[in-house]
Chains A and B, each alone.
Chain A
Amino acid sequence: MIQEKRIALRNSGLINPESIDEYIQCGGYQAFAKALTMSPSDISEIIIDSGLRGRGGAGFPTGTKEKSTAQTCIECLKYIVCNADEGEPGTFKDRIIMETDPHNLIEGMLIAAWSVGASVGYIYVRGEYHLSIERLNIAIKQAEKKGFIGENILNTDFSFTLEVKPGAGSYLCGEELTLIESLEGKRGYPRIKPPFPAQKGLWDHPTLINNVETLANFAPIILYGADWYKSFGTSKSPGTKIFCLSGDVKRPGYYEVDMGITLIDLINEFGGGVNGNSIKSILIGGAAGTFASINHLNLPLDFDSLKEQGLTLGSGAVVVMNETRDLLEMLTSILDFFKHESCGKCIPCRLGTAQILNITERIQEMEPKERESTFINIIQQAEIMAKTSLCPLGQSPILPLKSLWVNFANELINKF
């Protein structure tokens, strides 16, 4: 029997999320107080040493991002932004953190802000997450009252303000530079990278931007150290990960476990097994994710093991599909999603997402031979899109398309 290991979710469900006193009773804000006694560069060294990688999907080393933001300039205005625009289908872990333990996120942001020298912070929450927005606003007010946010925090020269900003229904704003555009009050169009946010972010100032789950790990790492954190997970993907299980499983939900848990253990031990007779496919990482087959059930779920197999961990969404599911229908639904969310800035993505969807919708009626050539054709188109689009949206449709073709070609050609 595998146990959950809750680090980011350590207080979830155990304390009243609207009470700062309960959070403090559980050791809350101790890590922040400890961080203030350390030098900012020591903190980013600990985060680097812990091996923490961004939990939003890209898996970039968090500490490296911090160090680079801190070093861009010394005595200048810097921002810290929490990316809480969780829009990836199948993903809801950030919502759980914000709804059940908002102070944990705030404490993580305070530590990160101190380590990079940021004095202003924003939490950009997707507009549909009404309860998250409400609870974060309550938590910020409480933290201000207790003196964790404001001027000369805990009698130091560190000052910090924090504000919640709602999104308004754009998936693309989950991409960091697009999110920054939206925070500035503009249409969510991606910017050209580089410069990265660490150099030129919000209003062209150096900006540290991290996902909710990433920041939720900061306080425990500072309290217990990098070695403690590395005792979880795998050597290349240390720590825990919150997986969001959905689809055909008996117990859909969120489970925080060691990185590197196998797909089958996650589904059976935590999800209670497949709902139906057998597993046909597992979509890992959401819409911008990949279709795995039953041959992958013993694969460890971490950034690198999946990448070696042409799969992606992404945000940690795991969608199980049983033997009755029509994979072509699932693919069509995903491609429809991308078409809807494409912002239209880059022509290959604006036209390509629509074109790929149109063709896919017609595959069902085709003869097997035509199906094969059609799939190869749309994969080529998606590859061109990926190479010619600015942001991850245009680069995403290739992921489900290619993995579905690689793992299920036979079914796609011959069934129906």
Chain B
Amino acid sequence: MDVTTILKKYPKRRDSVIEILHEIQNHDPQNYLSEESLKKVATHINLPLAQIYGIVGYYSMLSLNPRKKFVIQVCKSPICGMLGSQSIYDAVKVKISARPDSANLFTIEKVECLGQCNQSPCMMINKEIYGNLTPQKIESIIEEIVISEQNAQK
């Protein structure tokens, strides 16, 4: 869905801005908010572009930088941290670098508590939660995504 179509769904009100930004970002192939999109949002809700940037800059889920199709967010909160989130993060990095053909599929980020502490350590890939992680599980989770992407392209 393009930005103009998304904007049509929302009232021209400031309080819709976070929902609008989420939806634009989720539909963007690069999982981010481009200047071009933000200009359209500013016009739609009649706010200066600087204020839109102010909002995007404040909220950590909104990104001004292009990202890959799959955004891997590893929880680094105190609880996941204690139960080994760093080794999960490292395992993700190792796995991705071991598959150079998948380098264009993944962006890795560390994020604060995902609210899944009953299954720490955990991570989120786009909207999907993965819990009780081990480096071995990371191996198969990433492999599965890579293979399904390769099959989709055939």
Docked CA distance A89–B18 (Å)? 23
Contact between A330 and B14 (Cβ–Cβ < 8 Å)? no
Count of interface residues, chain A, beta-carbon cutoff 8 Å: 48
In chain B between 54 and 97, which residues have their CB closer than 8 angstroms to a CB of chain A?
54-55, 58-62, 76-79, 81-83
Docked CA distance A375–B113 (Å)? 26
In chain B between 97 and 149, which residues have their CB closer than 8 angstroms to a CB of chain A?
111-120, 124, 127
Residues of A within 8 A of B15 (CB): 165, 183-185
* In the complex, residue of chain B having the shortest beta-carbon distance to the beta carbon of A172: B58
Mark B1-21 against chain A: 1 for CB-CB distance below 8 A, else 0.
000000000000111111101
Docked CA distance A185–B42 (Å)? 12
Question: Which of B62, B112, B117 counts the most A-chain CB atoms under 10 A from its CB?
Answer: B117
A17 to chain B, nearest CB (A): 16
Mark B40-62 against chain A: 1 for CB-CB distance below 8 A, else 0.
00000100000000110011111
Residues of A within 8 A of B118 (CB): 92, 244-246, 252-254
Closest 7 CB pairs of A and B: A168-B59, A169-B61, A169-B60, A185-B14, A246-B117, A187-B58, A89-B113
Contact between B14 and A87 (Cβ–Cβ < 8 Å)? no
B39 within 8 A of A: no
List 10 contacting pairs A-B, 8 Å CB cutoff, sorted by A: A86-B115, A88-B113, A90-B78, A95-B115, A128-B115, A167-B61, A168-B21, A188-B58, A252-B119, A321-B82
* In the complex, residue of chain A having the shortest beta-carbon distance to the beta carbon of B56: A168
In chain A between 229 and 258, which residues have their CB closer than 8 angstroms to a CB of chain B?
244-247, 252-254
Contact between B59 and A170 (Cβ–Cβ < 8 Å)? yes
Once A128-B115, A246-B118, A317-B117 are accepted as A-B contacts, the answer to whether A168 and B22 lie under 8 Å apart by CB is yes
Contact between B113 and A168 (Cβ–Cβ < 8 Å)? no
Q: Interface size bucket, B side?
A: 35 or more
Residues of A within 8 A of B61 (CB): 127-128, 167-169
Contact between B78 and A319 (Cβ–Cβ < 8 Å)? yes
Question: Which of A89, A329, A340, A341 counts the most B-chain CB atoms under 10 A from its CB?
Answer: A89
Docked CA distance A95–B114 (Å)? 11
Question: Which of A88, A127, A321 counts the most B-chain CB atoms under 10 A from its CB?
Answer: A127
Binding site for B on A (CB under 8 A): 86-92, 95, 126-130, 165-171, 182-188, 244-247, 252-254, 283, 287, 317, 319, 321, 325, 329-330, 333-334, 337, 340-341, 343
Contact between B55 and A186 (Cβ–Cβ < 8 Å)? yes
Docked CA distance A254–B45 (Å)? 41
The one of B18, B60, B79 that contacts A247, using a Cβ cutoff of 8 Å: B79
Residues of A within 8 A of B19 (CB): 165-166
A121 to chain B, nearest CB (A): 14
* In the complex, residue of chain B having the shortest beta-carbon distance to the beta carbon of A132: B115
Docked CA distance A86–B58 (Å)? 18
* In the complex, residue of chain B having the shortest beta-carbon distance to the beta carbon of A331: B78
Once A168-B60, A337-B112 are accepted as A-B contacts, the answer to whether A89 and B54 lie under 8 Å apart by CB is no
